[in-house]
Structure 1
Amino acid sequence: ELKVALTRHEELFGQLKTKYLLQGNSVEHVMREAKEDLNAAVTNCTPEHPESACGLITHLAACYSIIKCGREFIEAPAAEQPDRFVAPHRAQILTIYRLLHAHKTGQVSFWSWLIGAKGSARARKVPENHLAQVLTGEGKCLTLGLLAAFLGLQNVGSDVVCYRRVLTEQDWQAMLPFYRFVGVEDKI
């Protein structure tokens, strides 16, 4: 199931990259379109459909790329565009899927329990927890930033911290334009 979910992510991400960055539109147009698509993905993300969480994560990844490198990518000569493109890599998406248990169809996932069944008559046993080890330089900031944005869009606040205050602040500043774009800076 995880391999299928990652393949779907890569296919949708490729479609979104083409739609947003390879059509010759201005960055302002691209940002409006990406925000509209993100809002639709949030609306469609329901605990009853675990695959919708994967789609929302892909839309968040596309929004991150637009905020991080969209203007530079669009303005760069075609030969330089591949070097300007920044996107979450497969291991980061895999980590998010595993932590949320979002790739599991037909089973209660942590995120669906958190926003859908917790405290209700439908409450189920909480799924097993997962840990993820992400080494230095392998993308903790972006992985946790995407995860926090996903939770924020579900009205679930989160704290992203590091063992050193300066690193926590550095990560916050790095992700703040993305958090503002998706509208979750007050939830993190």
Structure 2
Amino acid sequence: RIIKEIKNTLIQSKLISEDKNEIGKHRDERYKKFNEKFLILNKAKVFNNSYLNIDLNDIEQEYSHLTRNDYTEFNICYLNLISFRQEMKLVQCGVNEKIAENDTTVQHVTSMLINMKRVSIDMPSFKTKINERIDELLNNYKSITNDSMTFTKLGTLLNQDKTGIGQTIISEHKSFQGYSLSLFNEKTRRHGITYVLSNLEGDSIERKLLEKRYEQFNRLYQELVQQNLKPNMKLDKLIENIKLIAGNRKQDPENIEWDADIRRKVPELAAHIFALWTLKNAEHYFEAEGSDNRDNYLLQPHAAQVISIFRMLGIGDKNEELKNNLVQIGTGEGKSITLGSMACILALLGFDVRCACYSQYLSHRDYT
């Protein structure tokens, strides 16, 4: 009788709770109690696994047709399945994850990635796992095609996605770092030195002098990059030259040295520091072999960053004095690189440098 009651209780019980706010601990406990009842039935040789019939293939088919309103409900089911698999040890139920896709055309891969990312966004419980699968798919696709142009085309199609999901893939997955860099460089190149100077606001600005200093910087920067940009490059000589230019200085807070010789060195030091930064991060450039815009795959300073450094150091004003200056740089315009390069220049010129930030997260992220 007891066995029969347990059997009927299990058959009549609703495994999936409809409570959207059910705590994970309570859900685990519920399935644990179910498992205890299964244990009794199993020992009595009464219960047969046929009572539990979960066809995961059918779930997979239904899953692809979910409407947005169904995502929340499915998410609850998934959380229940996690607890089920964890606590119901006697029930043989395996979840096999497999990607079997023969169509590797760039259009189809684009569509598949967008669909996967859509589910990742709308179903938080799947996010980590699906993002891992997206990374795996991208790495495999890059390896199979072995063609930077095909991968660039994939990035272009994702970037043109009108839903915005394609752009999210580009920004969140490392495989597209090179492509993201090329997009950024393409945009910033439209805002060259002429645009920056015409939109620059501030006190005591000598635009002609500032432009002259920038041209000195840019000419030397381009030369240094072209001279050293090669596979397996050795940068020891470039690093030694940076030290030689700076000299061995130690600034006295009571008597800061900022003469014409030091001011002349600022554009030169900036060019060498930025060239070193570009060359040490040139892996995407070599991956983009065959691309028409290969230079866009290099990390490069844009005019606004360089001018910001010059202005903070007083370069380009009437007297070119070193004094307190405040520079405003918009979100995503490269504050971290500007600050890091500025700190390097000042440290090389003998100053003690301390950088402060309002955000602990940004401080940890940008600390190197």
Which TM-score applies when normalising by structure 2?
0.37
* Number of equivalenced pairs: 150
- Shift in CA distance, 64/101, structure 1 to aligned 2, threshold 3 Å: same
Aligned to 1:26: 232
Aligned to 2:224: 16
Q: Do the aligned partners of 1:51 and 1:103 also contact (CA within 8 Å) in 2? A: no
Aligned to 1:85: 298
Q: Unaligned stretches of 5+ in structure 1?
A: 111-126, 177-188
Aligned to 1:135: 330
- Shift in CA distance, 96/42, structure 1 to aligned 2, threshold 3 Å: same
Work out the percentage of aligned pairs sharing the same amino acid: 24
Q: Do the aligned partners of 1:51 and 1:102 also contact (CA within 8 Å) in 2? A: no
- Shift in Å at residue 82 of structure 1? 1.8
SS of equivalent residue, structure 2 residue 238: helix
Question: Where do residues 35-184 of structure 1 align in structure 2 (5 Å cutoff)?
Answer: 35-43=239-247, 47-49=259-261, 50-67=263-280, 69-74=281-286, 76-79=288-291, 81-103=294-316, 107=319, 109-110=321-322, 127=323, 129-172=324-367, 176=368
SS of equivalent residue, structure 1 residue 146: helix
Aligned to 2:215: 7
Instruction: Report the Cα distance in structure 2 between the residues aligned to 1:133 and 1:38, rounded to whole angstroms.
Output: 28
RMSD: 2.4
Instruction: Report the Cα distance in structure 1 between the residues aligned to 2:290 and 2:260, rounded to whole angstroms.
Output: 42
Q: Do the aligned partners of 2:221 and 2:275 also contact (CA within 8 Å) in 1? A: yes
Q: Do the aligned partners of 1:41 and 1:59 also contact (CA within 8 Å) in 2? A: no
SS of equivalent residue, structure 1 residue 145: helix
Query: Higher relative CO (CA 8 A, sep ≥ 6), structure 1 or 2?
Result: 1
- Shift in Å at residue 59 of structure 1? 0.9
- Shift in Å at residue 143 of structure 1? 0.5
Letter in 1 for 2:228: Y
Instruction: Report the Cα distance in structure 1 between the residues aligned to 2:317 and 2:268, rounded to whole angstroms.
Output: 13
Q: Unaligned stretches of 5+ in structure 2?
A: 1-208, 250-257
Q: Do the aligned partners of 1:54 and 1:103 also contact (CA within 8 Å) in 2? A: no
* Cα deviation code 1:61-90 (max 9, x no counterpart): 1111122x2344346525263232011111
* Cα deviation code 1:97-137 (max 9, x no counterpart): 011013458x4521xxxxxxxxxxxxxxxx4x321101111
- Shift in Å at residue 95 of structure 1? 0.5
Which TM-score applies when normalising by structure 1?
0.70
- Shift in Å at residue 158 of structure 1? 1.9
Instruction: Report the Cα distance in structure 1 between the residues aligned to 2:283 and 2:299, rounded to whole angstroms.
Output: 12
Instruction: Report the Cα distance in structure 2 between the residues aligned to 1:132 and 1:36, rounded to whole angstroms.
Output: 31
* Cα deviation code 1:8-58 (max 9, x no counterpart): 11111111111111xx4522x2x1132122122213997331211211111
- Shift in CA distance, 78/14, structure 1 to aligned 2, threshold 3 Å: farther
Instruction: Report the Cα distance in structure 1 between the residues aligned to 2:231 and 2:260, rounded to whole angstroms.
Output: 36
Letter in 1 for 2:239: K
Instruction: Report the Cα distance in structure 1 between the residues aligned to 2:321 and 2:223, rounded to whole angstroms.
Output: 27
- Shift in Å at residue 164 of structure 1? 1.2
Instruction: Report the Cα distance in structure 2 between the residues aligned to 1:44 and 1:71, rounded to whole angstroms.
Output: 33
Rg larger in structure:
2
- Shift in CA distance, 82/108, structure 1 to aligned 2, threshold 3 Å: closer
Instruction: Report the Cα distance in structure 2 between the residues aligned to 1:170 and 1:54, rounded to whole angstroms.
Output: 28
Letter in 2 for 1:16: L
